[in-house]
Amino acid sequence: MAMLSPYGVKLIVDLGTQYTGFNNGYLCASWSLMSLRGWNSPTTLHKAMLECEYYGLLVRTQSGGLNKPNLHAFTWRRIDEKTDKPLAINPTGKPSDAWKEPREKYVYQKPMSSRSFRSRSKKRRHEKRVA
C-alpha cells in the first residue's frame, strides 16, 4: 500500500497494538486513546481514519454516538464475535481483503460548513437575478 500517508500507517500500527487475535471488529481509535499514543490533532486522526477506510484497510463495524466510539476491523482478518457486545456488522468466517481492490489516490474532501453552503446559495440566487 504505497499510497498510504504516514498518518495512515501510524493509525494502522496504533490499532494493531489493540489487536489480540480475537477482537477484530472492536478496535477503537477514539481521541482519548489515540492522544495517549502520541496523536496531536483530532483532525489528523479523523483524516487518517477516512484514508484507511477509503483504501479498504479498515471497515467500520459500529458507528459511535453519545459516549460510544466508532469501532473498526482490519480487512485482512476475519471479524470476530463477542456475544456480550454485538456489532452492526455480522462476524465473518474469512477476511474481506478489501484492501486488495485497486483505488485511485485518496484526496481528502473537506466537509462543507453550513456557513459556506449558505453563502454559495446566496451567490447563486444573486447570479440568477442578475442574468
Task: Please write the tens of the pLDDT for every residue from 24-69.
Answer: 999 999 999 999 999 999 999 999 999 999 999 999 999 988 888 9
Tell me, what's the pLDDT at 85?
Answer: 87
Q: Which pLDDT score, from 0 to 100, does residue 9 have?
A: 96
Does residue 118 register a pLDDT over 70?
Answer: no
The answer to whether position 85 is within a domain reads yes
Has residue 1 been placed in a domain? no
pLDDT for residue 115: 65
| Predicted structure pTM score | 0.78
Q: Do 92 and 76 contact (CB within 8 A), yes or no?
A: no
Burial class (CB in 10 A: 0-12, 13-18, 19+), 55: buried
Instruction: Check residues 83 and 11 and name the one with the higher pLDDT.
Output: 11
Give domain status of residue 95, yes or no.
yes
Range of the domain at 119: 6-130
Residue recorded with cell 454559495: 120
User: What does the alpha-carbon distance between residue 30 and residue 79 come to, in Å, rounded to a whole number?
Assistant: 19
Out of 10-19, 72-81, 88-97, 104-113, pick the least confident: 104-113
Nearest to 59 by CA among 67, 50, 68, 48: 50
Domain count of the fold of the chain: 1
Cell 495512515: give the residue: 8
Measure the CA–CA gap between 76 and 114, rounded to whole angstroms: 38
CA distance 18 to 98: 21
Q: Please indicate, yes or no, if residue 72 is contained in any of the structural domains.
A: yes
Q: What's 53's domain CATH number? A: 1.10.10
Cα angle for residues 68, 34, 7 (degrees, 5° grid):
120
pLDDT digits (tens, 9 = 90+) for 72-103: 999 999 999 888 888 888 888 889 988 888 88
